[in-house]
Amino acid sequence: MTNKAYVIGVDYGSDSVRSVIVDAANGQEIASSVYNYPRWQKGLYCNAAENQFRQHPLDYIEGLETTIKDCLSQAGADIAALVKGIAVDTTGSTPVAVDATGHPLALRPEFKENPNAMFVLWKDHTAVDEAAEINEHATKFDTNYLKYVGGIYSSEWFWAKLLHIIRVDEEVNNALHSWVEHCDWIPFLLTGGTDVKEIKRSRCAAGHKALWAEEFDGLPPDEFFSSLDPLLTGITGKLFKETYTSDVPAGNISQEWADRLGLPTDVVVGVGAFDAHMGAVGGQIEPYYLSKVMGTSTCDMMVVPAEDIEGKTVRGICGQVNGSVIPGMIGLEAGQSAFGDTYAWFKNLVSWPINNLLRQSKLIDEATAEKLKEEIADQIIPELSRQAALLPIESDNELAIDWFNGRRTPDANQLLTGAIAGLNLGSDAPRVFRALAEATCFGAKSIVDRFIEEGIPVKGIIGIGGVAKKSPFVMQMMADVLGMPIRIHQFKHTCALGAAMFATVASGVYSSTEEAMEAMGRGFDVEYIPNPDNAAIYADRYQHYKALGADIAKQTTANQANTVTA
């Protein structure tokens, strides 16, 4: 690369969007900006008790414009003129109903307050019944259409969510022209698309969540869906057959968005992908190393040379797709439905008196109460971690199961719930917090074990994301539980860096993803080495974790059977 060039990576998370401007020559961050979704922060369109989590497209649009303009303002006009490409990653599966122009129904006046016309966030589990129907229905066909998604379809994914929405909302069903992933819509928006048929669909999203496979020459046949529910008749004609890897351009930025952002019109916009997939690239993934993006949930990525896995499918994971991470290699995905969310739940639980009673105090004024509330909230997890780290690791410690938002892998089941066992009158907050942290680490081990059981070796762990960067306590525990080292990537916004790397390839700055990774990778700043003294006790406690989990799964199955009988 001889000419100076800059790229923009945009990373849409569950709570916020972050953009970075990166020097394409070396991956150096020039500017970054984060925007918290205002409607999401207010809890609009969500009902946690019913596992309904929806996001308004205006949160995404406003965040896109705000963060990129902020980055460009920080960087200056000279750098803005040298931006060559933009690439975007998002959560997923986070699809939405769109009209014939390819834009979300929630942007139309008649649907602007309808949650069913909004993006159905990855952790929305309102479609558990539909997922179960898909799994049962798939057994009726000679072709195993679930073979590349681990054999089990999840309520977190594309088809279950689509079927649920069109069943519960006739108006949305009648207005729906297609069903589009968040990571496909943002590039379409930036390129000024006006025809839903022109959306370039992500190989990553389609392969891991929508049952697209090269072997099937696209999606399963329309008969598969029409026989599942007549409401789906003809649906494949409204969707797609071709998919694209993220090194491919989606198009050039439109005049409208170039003007809005202050960018030249020759900026190339790349095909989108899911956050963890681009994060794995930003985190310099290597074959057979598990890249764990650790945030509200985890998404665990691995790449394997195609010749090593030919004819083999891995049971109970979130899919294996050619080119979903690095073009030309097989991408394998797994993950935990709740990780940071588990800690956030416990923080909210122990914060209840602070959040609800402090403002009623007659000893301090309201402004002081609010400041005190914020101060204590910032200290809770760090102090719980410090106190928990001082506790001895003993076989009869409190034991937890990490399925607070269901189980993603291995063997997806979003009806499963979390649990805490072994409580007594000495069980205080640090002891319970330690059990929860341990459970998330055991959940990580169950994923590693599944890969190994299926003949896929795991050489080590690459840690990415907020928990990996902020919690030495959890990371050291995970290294001890897994019995393998964990390297933490030093770049703060690793998913956005991965998006920036893909932007360089889509815009022609580099010729391949590997070349971009080599030039722009920022390396690792921390490595956690397992403590062999803890191996035996964690191995014993892991067996108790599996036994307790099996009991919960058995009870859940029995409850389901009783409900059906009733």
pLDDT the model gives residue 557: 83
| Backbone dihedral angles phi then psi of residue 157, each to the nearest 5 degrees | -110, 170
Which DSSP string corresponds to 17-74?
A: EEEEEEETTT--EEEEEEEE-HHHHTTTT-BGGGTB-EE-HHHHHHHHHHHHHHHHHH
The number of helix segments (H) and strand segments (E) in the chain equals: 21, 20
Cα separation values, 538 from 395, 478, 521, Å: 8, 10, 34
Neighbours of 256 (CB within 10 A): 11
Q: What is the pLDDT of residues 471-529, one digit of tens each?
A: 999 999 999 999 999 999 998 899 999 999 999 999 999 999 999 999 999 899 999 99
Nearest to 477 by CA among 549, 428, 537, 545: 537
pLDDT the model gives residue 154: 93
Mean pLDDT by 10 residues, the chain (566 residues): 86 96 97 98 95 97 98 96 98 97 98 98 96 97 96 96 98 98 98 98 98 96 97 96 97 98 97 96 96 92 93 91 95 95 95 90 89 93 97 95 94 93 97 98 97 95 92 97 95 94 98 97 94 96 97 87 58
- Could you list the beta-strand ranges (E) of 63-160: 83-90, 95-98, 119-120
User: What sign for the dihedral angle of Cα 190, 191, 197, 200?
Assistant: negative
Angle at the Cα of 513 from the Cα atoms of 261 and 517, rounded to 5 degrees: 90
Neighbours of 427 (CB within 10 A): 14
Find out whether 442 and 481 touch, Cβ atoms under 8 Å.
yes
* CA 337 – CA 342 distance, rounded (Å): 9
- Could you list the beta-strand ranges (E) of 411-533: 419-421, 460-464, 486-489, 524-528
pLDDT the model gives residue 95: 98
pLDDT the model gives residue 561: 66
DSSP conformational letter for 94:
-
pLDDT the model gives residue 449: 97
